[in-house]
Amino acid sequence: MDCEYTELQYNAQNWAKKAAEAGWLSPEDIKQILEINSSDPSELFDQTVRRPLVVAFFGGTGVGKSSLLNRLADQAIARTGEQRPTSREISIYIHNSLEIRQMPNNFPIDKSRIAQHDNSKIKHIMWIDMPDIDSTESANREIVLQWLPHVDILLYVVSPERYKDQRGWNLLLDLGSRHAWIFIMNQKDKSAAGQIDAFKSQLSRAGFDDPIVLETDCRSDEEPRIADDFNKLKQIIHELSESHFIEQFELNSLNARYKDLRTAINLCIDRLGTQQSTDLILQQWHTIWLETASSLEAGMQWPIQQIARSYAVRPNSILSKFIKTSSANTETDTQTNDKITLWDPWAQTRIDDAIDQIIVAAGINNIQTSPFKTGLDEHRKQAENIMHSQVEQILRQSLAKPGGSMRRFFIKLGGIAMIVLPLMAIGWVAYELFDQFYKSSNSGEPYLGVDFAIHSGLLILVSWLFPWFTNQKLRPSMEKVAHNALNRGVILGFELIQSNVNQSLLKILEQREQYLLEGQSFSAACNLESISRTDTDISLLNRTLVNYRSNIQPPDS
């Protein structure tokens, strides 16, 4: 099971790192999951032999931890009072048949003192005298935090004057579920009535339903001691050192690690946002784009009109020959047209504002904005090229084939009629001319007169003029063609820009969904194992373990 947890923790941490690299999580979001300590007491010993129960003395300065350890060991293995250098020394008391395989990573070996004994009665117990947790030395807390994952039972030692110490309680509330606890009010000779009950009341608020609270008097042997619970403490620790209790402590610690890992994963999952948030982002983008496109379309009408006007006169048309345009005016119009730009800084600003609004909307919906900035920034640069490309394509197609297919058919038909009808008229006039000439030669009658010449000329002219006039009327205005083409190109450009942004948004949100599903799978894998306890053990074991509750409170001031 421990190997399964290690693999799960490794995969979950890699998931969090990748999500942070993609911008979905901040370094602060993944700090908790990366700092989870997966160590346990079994790491200190060779796995082939039965390991001892690791018991650590935990408490503030001057509460008598070292004195209590010396009394339990029946010898002065821990230096007390002024002999204890700056209260930062770790004293380890272990049977000489056992050997610590390795110390915790980065642990200051020079700050530890290992004393061995041959007392077979406490062979399966390793005692650790921890530094004072309330010291002003920050290194003390670091040493305690390094050692805590390697401890089975914490003997929380307090004194009548210092049982409300805030620093010890803070560590208890943060790490209480990972260890078994026995609470000792030392210096019983200094206690007052009601203090032990007040201490038990505080422990109840901290999550202990029926904690083991003992009173001891650990003055030196030269001083008379009052009756206390010291022998009861020795008996309880001796019972808890049995192998099946150690297995239960390991399972409880493993469950706590699963719980911590799941809490850290869920914190990251919460930072990925909810499905409702992502739906709102898509809805807000639709609204933002409708307003932006409407504003852009209205604002681009003037440049569209100016550009379309440059196509009003066709240089090669017959009409252009009758329009008097000076060369100076032509150069001025050309220069003016060159200055007209369909996509100007104003239009680019509108696109930038729209993209900025959707990025801000992501932040408002409690979703990290970095993926949106990275995924949408490219569309700022592409908008101008997309618009020009679409407009140019539609404009070229429209100018190459102006008007509809039916209209172009009649224009082509008119062009053919402009040739065929005059030729037919000329043919008919020629036929009449030769016919009348032949008849006049035989009969001697007068040859064709002026009326025939006039009528023939009018016939030929009308046969050409009618299809020409119809053709000119059917031929579309190039200004209108260009204007319509520009409008269609702009609309298609807007649609393409919107489509590209939509695809990027969907891709961004799909990536978020992928990280979310992975995180949820890791969270679901962190199922708390039920602790199997026998009827004879359940009372003692329950009293040493914190009960998971939501109403845990700090001690009274």
pLDDT (tens digit per residue) in 43-52 = 888 777 788 9
Secondary structure of 237-300 in the HEC alphabet? HHHHCCHHHHHHHHHHHHHHHHHHHHHHHHHHHHHCCCHHHHHHHHHHHHHHHHHHHHHHHHHC
Beta-carbon contacts of residue 431 (< 8 Å; ≥ 6 apart): none
Q: Residue 314 pLDDT > 60, yes or no?
A: no
What integer is the mean pLDDT of 462-466? 83
Q: Residue 266 pLDDT > 90, yes or no?
A: yes
CA–CA dist 154, 183 (Å, integer): 8
What integer is the mean pLDDT of 347-371? 92
pLDDT band at 113 (very low <50, low <70, confident <90, very high): confident
Give the per-residue pLDDT at 497: 93
Tokens of 170: 């803070």
CA–CA dist 239, 231 (Å, integer): 12
The residue type of 299 is: G
Give the per-residue pLDDT at 334: 41
Beta strands in 122-235 (DSSP E): 125-129, 153-158, 180-185, 213-215
Beta-carbon contacts of residue 184 (< 8 Å; ≥ 6 apart): 68, 155, 156, 157, 158, 213, 214, 215, 216, 233
- Say how many C-beta atoms besides its own lie within 10 A of residue 407's C-beta: 13
pLDDT band at 441 (very low <50, low <70, confident <90, very high): confident
Tokens of 145: 């935090």
CA–CA dist 243, 473 (Å, integer): 106
- C-alpha distances (whole Å) from 332 to each of 312, 324, 338 are 16, 15, 10
More confident of the two residues 147 and 85: 147
Q: Mean pLDDT: which of 120-129, 243-252, 486-495 is highest?
A: 486-495
Beta-carbon contacts of residue 524 (< 8 Å; ≥ 6 apart): none
Task: Lowest mean pLDDT of 118-127, 307-316, 365-374, 497-506, name the range.
Answer: 307-316
Give the per-residue pLDDT at 549: 45
What integer is the mean pLDDT of 117-123? 83
Contact 259, 528 (CB under 8 A): yes
Q: Residue 304 pLDDT > 50, yes or no?
A: yes
Give the per-residue pLDDT at 316: 45
What integer is the mean pLDDT of 17-36? 92
CA–CA dist 94, 89 (Å, integer): 16
Give the torsion through C-alpha atoms of 169, 173, 177, 181, to 10 deg: 10
More confident of the two residues 394 and 316: 394
Q: Mean pLDDT: which of 163-172, 199-208, 435-444 is highest?
A: 199-208
Tokens of 111: 């700050």
Contact 156, 114 (CB under 8 A): no
Among 123, 69, 127, residue whose Cα is nearest residue 96 = 123
To the nearest whole percent, how much of the chain has pLDDT over 90? 23
Give the per-residue pLDDT at 403: 65
Model confidence pLDDT, tens digit, residues 468-519: 877 766 666 678 888 888 999 999 999 999 999 999 999 999 999 999 999 9
To the nearest whole percent, how much of the chain has pLDDT over 70? 79
Q: Residue 275 pLDDT > 70, yes or no?
A: yes
Give the per-residue pLDDT at 50: 83
Q: Residue 531 pLDDT > 50, yes or no?
A: no
Contact 26, 368 (CB under 8 A): yes
- Average pLDDT of the chain is 79
* Diameter over CA atoms, the chain: 174
- Say how many C-beta atoms besides its own lie within 10 A of residue 338's C-beta: 9
DSSP state of 76: -
Give the per-residue pLDDT at 313: 52
| Residue 29: HSE in the Cβ half-sphere, 13 Å Cα cutoff | 23
pLDDT band at 18 (very low <50, low <70, confident <90, very high): very high
CA–CA dist 4, 525 (Å, integer): 10
Contact 272, 512 (CB under 8 A): yes
Model confidence pLDDT, tens digit, residues 88-99: 567 788 888 888
Query: What phi and psi, each to the nearest 5 degrees, are found at residue 202?
Result: -65, -40
More confident of the two residues 515 and 417: 515
The residue type of 398 is: S
Q: Where are the alpha helices (DSSP H) in 401-528?
A: 405-443, 450-474, 478-525
Task: Lowest mean pLDDT of 104-113, 216-225, 298-307, name the range.
Answer: 104-113
DSSP state of 225: P
Give the per-residue pLDDT at 479: 80
- Say how many C-beta atoms besides its own lie within 10 A of residue 484's C-beta: 18
180-185 and 153-158: which strand pairing? parallel
pLDDT band at 333 (very low <50, low <70, confident <90, very high): very low
Q: Residue 326 pLDDT > 50, yes or no?
A: no
Question: Environment class of residue 117 by beta-carbon count within 10 Å: exposed (0-12), middle (13-18) or buried (19+)?
Answer: middle
pLDDT band at 106 (very low <50, low <70, confident <90, very high): low
Model confidence pLDDT, tens digit, residues 386-410: 998 998 888 888 777 776 677 667 7
Axis-axis angle for helices 345-364, 478-525 (nearest 10) = 20
Model confidence pLDDT, tens digit, residues 179-228: 888 999 888 878 777 888 888 888 887 778 888 899 888 877 667 778 88
Q: Residue 454 pLDDT > 80, yes or no?
A: yes
Q: Residue 14 pLDDT > 90, yes or no?
A: yes
pLDDT band at 175 (very low <50, low <70, confident <90, very high): low
Beta-carbon contacts of residue 436 (< 8 Å; ≥ 6 apart): 447, 448, 452
Q: How many residues does the chain have?
A: 557
CA–CA dist 494, 486 (Å, integer): 12
Beta strands in 84-200 (DSSP E): 90-95, 112-117, 125-129, 153-158, 180-185
Give the per-residue pLDDT at 115: 82
